[in-house]
Amino acid sequence: MNDENKNNPNRSDHMEDIFSSNTIPPIEPEKPEQGQIPTPDVAPTTAFIPQQTQSTPDQMQPTTQIPPVNPPYPPINQPSQPYTTNMVPPTMGYSPEGMPLQTPGAIPPPPPKKPLSSKAKKGIIFGSIGGGVLIIVAIILCIVLLGGGKKFDLGKYYMISVQGMNGNATAEVITNDSITDTELMKDLGLKSNQYSELVNYAGFFQSVSAELSKTEGISNGDTIEATLTYDEDLAEELHIKIKNSKLSLQVKGLKDGTKIDVFEDLQVTFTGIAPKGEVEIVNNSTDDFVSGIYFSADKTSGLSNGDVVTITANYDKYQAQDELLVVTQETKEFTVEGLSEYLTSAEQITDEVRAALDNKAKEAVNASLAESWSTYYEKFSDKYYYSTNKISVSDPVISTQSLLVGKDPEGYYWDGYNRLIYIYQVTIDISSDSTFGDKPDGPKTGYIAVALSDICILNGEVVVDNVEKPSPYGDCSTNNVTLIDELINANKVEYNVIDIKPAA
C-alpha cells in the first residue's frame, strides 16, 4: 500500500478499528486487473432492525380483580448496537494504485442506453402488471391477518367457582389453570417460536373483569351467570376478536351444613351510669369453633337506656366451611337497659324525685344554720358581734334552682357531671349580752347556696353521690344575684344550665 494512503480515513485497516467493537471482521478488497475500473463493494441488503421495546408486566397497571392467565414472561432481548443498511462497509473507499479515490457509496456512471425492443417493452408492461397484482395480494393478506384477527374464546380461559355449603355458598370468577401456554399461543395465532410475544398480551388479560348474577347465599339448583368485560381498545390494538364473553354454571353437589347460633352463650352486660354507660362482652361458649370467635360492638361507651348496640361475630369463614358449619347470624342487636341515669333534664324530676332532692338540700342548709347562725347573721349585716344569742331562724325558702349538666358525656368533671344548685332565702334574728362593740339591730335576711352533685335516678329512686354542705365563708350573700353569677353563670363554659321551677 502506498504511503499516501497511510492517513486515509477510509482505508480498510482504519475501518477495522472502528468496527472492532462490533466484532465484524473487515472484508478484504480484491485488486482490479490492469485497466479494469474497480467496482465498490455493496453493503448487505438485509438490515438487523431492532424490535420495538414492549412494556413489561411490571410496568402495566392492574385494572381488575382477575389475575392474568399466564405468568409474566421475560422481555425480548434487544441488540445494544444494531446495524442498519446505511452503514458504510469497511471496503468502501479503497483506491488501487493509479486509480482515483472513490467517494464512499459512489456508483460508476451507467453505460449509454440502447433502444428497447418490442419484446422488452411487453415484458416491462406485463412485469408492471404482475407487480401490481402482488402488491394487491399483499394488502389483502395484511387485512386478513391484522385487520380481521383471530377469534378468541375468552370464556375458555375463565370459570365460575362456587365454594361453601348448600344455601350458604359463595361464587367468584377465577382463571382456568388447565390451559397451557402452548394452547394459549395457538388460540392467539402465535407460532411456537413466538413464545416471548405472550408478554404483549399481559395488559389485555389484566383488564378482564367479571360481573356475577349472584355471589352469596347460593344453593344447589341455582344458575350463576357471569359477564366478562375487557379493554376493547387494547383488544383491537392486539387484533384480538372476542367471540365468547359469557359464563354460566348450574350449581350442584353442595353439601348441607350444621346450623349454629354463635350468640347462644354470649353474655352482654351494660354497666355505669347513663349517658356514660359501657358494654361488657363475655364469650362463655365451650364449643371449639365458637369459643375462638371474637365479638365486637359498634358502640362500647357513652350509652344510655334505650340505645341499641350491634355486636358482630368475627370468625374464620374458611374454617366454618371446612367444618360444614352454618352460622345462622353474624350480628345481633342488644338494647341498653337497667342503667341508672344521671339527672340531665327537668323532665326527669317527678314529684317523688323533687321531694327527695329538696329534702337532701334542705337538710344540708338547716345543718349549716344550726352550727353557724351567728356567723350568717354577721355576714348578712357585715358586722361582728360579741356574746350573741339566737332569737330566731326562719325556715329556708328556695329562691333559685338550676341544674348544671356537663357538655361532654365522655369528659371528666372535678365538681361532678351534673350539679343541682339551690339558693335559699333565710331570715335570722339575734341579740347580744356584750357591752363591747355594736349591738344587733334586728332581723337580717340573706341567701345561702347548697349544691348536690352526680345525681342519679334508677327506677324512680334518687342517688346523690355528694351533698356539698354550705359554708358562711363562701356560700352566702345578701343578694342572690351574686351567688347566681359565682355558682351558675361562671360555669356555663363547661356546663349546660337548665332552670328548674321550684314546687308550688
Question: What is the model's pLDDT at position 41?
Answer: 46
Question: What is the model's pLDDT at position 149?
Answer: 55
- Tell me, yes or no, whether 221 lies in a domain: no
Task: Inform me whether the pLDDT recorded for 283 exceeds 80.
Answer: yes
Same domain, residue pair 445 and 367: yes
Instruction: Look up residue 10 and give its three cell numbers.
Output: 477510509
Task: Inform me whether the pLDDT recorded for 61 exceeds 70.
Answer: no
User: What average pLDDT does range 277-294 have in this prediction?
Assistant: 96
Same domain, residue pair 396 and 324: no
For residue range 84-105, list pLDDT tens digits in order: 333 223 333 333 344 343 333 4
Q: Based on the number of CB atoms within 10 Å of its own CB, is 117 exposed (0-12), middle (13-18) or buried (19 or more)?
A: exposed
Same domain, residue pair 284 and 262: yes
Same domain, residue pair 430 and 375: yes
Question: What is the model's pLDDT at position 488?
Answer: 96
Are 500 and 422 in contact, with CB atoms under 8 Å apart?
A: no
Cα–Cα distance measured from residue 339 to residue 274, given in angstroms and rounded to the nearest whole number: 6
Question: What is the model's pLDDT at position 299?
Answer: 95
- Give the confidence band of 503 by pLDDT, cuts at 50, 70, 90: confident
Task: Inform me whether the pLDDT recorded for 193 exceeds 80.
Answer: yes
State the chain's mean pLDDT as an integer.
Answer: 78
Task: Inform me whether the pLDDT recorded for 407 exceeds 90.
Answer: yes
Same domain, residue pair 350 and 409: yes
Share of the chain above pLDDT 90, in %: 61
One DSSP character per residue, 23-51 reads T-PPPPPPPPPTTPPPPPP---S---PPP
474-494: b (≥16 Cβ within 10 Å) or e: ebbbeebeebbeebbeebeee
Q: Which of 224, 260, 457, 446 is nearest to 348 (CA)?
A: 457
Task: Kindly calculate the radius of gyration of the chain based on its CA atoms and give it in whole angstroms.
Answer: 51
Q: What angle do CA 377, 367, 503 make, to 5 degrees?
A: 95
Q: Among 182-191, 280-289, 371-380, 394-403, where is mean pLDDT lowest?
A: 182-191
Task: Inform me whether the pLDDT recorded for 460 exceeds 60.
Answer: yes
Same domain, residue pair 278 and 414: no
- Tell me, yes or no, whether 63 lies in a domain: no
Same domain, residue pair 425 and 471: yes
Task: Inform me whether the pLDDT recorded for 499 exceeds 90.
Answer: yes
Instruction: Look up residue 308 and give its three cell numbers.
Output: 341499641
One DSSP character per residue, 283-350 reads E---STTGGG-EEEES--SSB-TT-EEEEEEE--HHHHHHTTEEES-SEEEEE--S-EEE--SGGG--
Question: What is the model's pLDDT at position 192?
Answer: 87
Question: What is the model's pLDDT at position 132?
Answer: 39
Of residues 119 and 173, more confidence is placed in: 173
Cα–Cα distance measured from residue 366 to residue 356, given in angstroms and rounded to the nearest whole number: 16
Same domain, residue pair 408 and 493: yes
Question: What is the model's pLDDT at position 435?
Answer: 77
Strand bridging mode 258-260 / 325-327: parallel
Instruction: Look up residue 267 and give its three cell numbers.
Output: 353474655
Paired residues of 326 in beta bridges: 259
- Tell me, yes or no, whether 66 lies in a domain: no
For residue range 348-400, list pLDDT tens digits in order: 999 999 999 999 999 999 999 999 999 999 999 999 999 899 999 999 999 99
Same domain, residue pair 361 and 462: yes
- Tell me, yes or no, whether 227 lies in a domain: no
What range does the domain containing 280 cover?
258-338
Question: What is the model's pLDDT at position 204?
Answer: 93
Same domain, residue pair 360 and 480: yes
Same domain, residue pair 420 and 489: yes
- Tell me, yes or no, whether 107 lies in a domain: no
Give the type of residue at 436.
F
User: What average pLDDT does range 476-485 have in this prediction?
Assistant: 95
- Tell me, yes or no, whether 282 lies in a domain: yes
Of the residues 338, 356, 377, the one at which a domain ends: 338
Of residues 108 and 172, more confidence is placed in: 172
Of the residues 338, 356, 390, the one at which a domain ends: 338
Of the residues 303, 338, 373, the one at which a domain ends: 338
Instruction: Report the domain count for the chain.
Output: 2
pTM value?
A: 0.53
- Give the confidence band of 436 by pLDDT, cuts at 50, 70, 90: confident
Task: Inform me whether the pLDDT recorded for 433 exceeds 50.
Answer: yes
For residue range 299-348, list pLDDT tens digits in order: 999 999 999 999 999 999 889 988 999 999 999 999 999 999 999 999 99
Same domain, residue pair 490 and 388: yes
Distances (CA, A) of 7 to 10, 14, 18, 28, 471: 9, 9, 15, 18, 120
Task: Inform me whether the pLDDT recorded for 117 exceeds 50.
Answer: no
Question: What is the model's pLDDT at position 134?
Answer: 38
- Tell me, yes or no, whether 81 lies in a domain: no
Residue found under cell 365458637: 290
- Tell me, yes or no, whether 250 lies in a domain: no
